[in-house]
Amino acid sequence: MTSIEERATFRKAERISRRKEFLEIYRKGKRLETRNFTLILSRNNTGGNRLGISIGKKAAKKAVARNRIKRLLREYFRLNKGRLPSSTDVVIIVRKDVSSRSYPDIFAELEGLLKEGGGSS
């Protein structure tokens, strides 16, 4: 696999899935907020960028809506992870149901957060 193909995937090693890791990022990370999202950026020791998504039933009541939002956020990360500084953990907390919004709308909102945060913590 070439390096371009590797960068365009979302591998298991790029996921934050353990509660302990989420809590550590919540404690140490830099928070950025918009109306719909809270983005937490933190440095890691893995050498790569990782993504964690937190979305509760209050944000989107139906599982179908929560899963659609997660798919959109993973796609955004997959396409933009190369723009982040290396060794950065990103946790996206979804605050409101954005499942009816289009990908370009979500992209624009997250883009504004990343520019504001500069990717460092």
The reply to whether 75 falls in a domain is yes
CA 60 to centroid of chain Cα atoms: 17
How much is the pLDDT for 117? 66
> What's the token pair of residue 75?
């796609």
The reply to whether 44 falls in a domain is yes
The reply to whether 109 falls in a domain is yes
| pLDDT tens-place string over residues 15-66 | 999 999 999 999 999 999 999 999 999 999 988 899 999 999 998 999 999 9
| pLDDT-derived band at 118, boundaries 50, 70, 90 | low
How much is the pLDDT for 113? 84
The reply to whether 54 falls in a domain is yes
The reply to whether 3 falls in a domain is no
CATH number at residue 61: 3.30.230.10
Tell me the average pLDDT across 105-110.
92
Does 82 have pLDDT greater than 90?
no
The reply to whether 6 falls in a domain is no
- Number of domains the chain is built from: 1
Cα-Cα-Cα-Cα dihedral of 55, 87, 121, 40, to 10°?
Answer: 0
pTM across the whole model: 0.86
Q: Write down how long the chain is.
A: 121
The reply to whether 110 falls in a domain is yes
Provide the edge-to-edge strand list for the sheet that holds 37-43: 30-33, 37-43, 88-94, 50-55
Residues whose CB falls within 8 Å of the CB of residue 70, separated by 6 or more in sequence, listed in order? 53, 55
How much is the pLDDT for 1? 44
CA 53 to centroid of chain Cα atoms: 6
| pLDDT tens-place string over residues 1-15 | 445 545 578 888 899
Expressed as residue numbers, the domain containing 28 is 12-117
Residue among 21, 25, 1, 4 nearest 13 (CA): 21
The reply to whether 5 falls in a domain is no
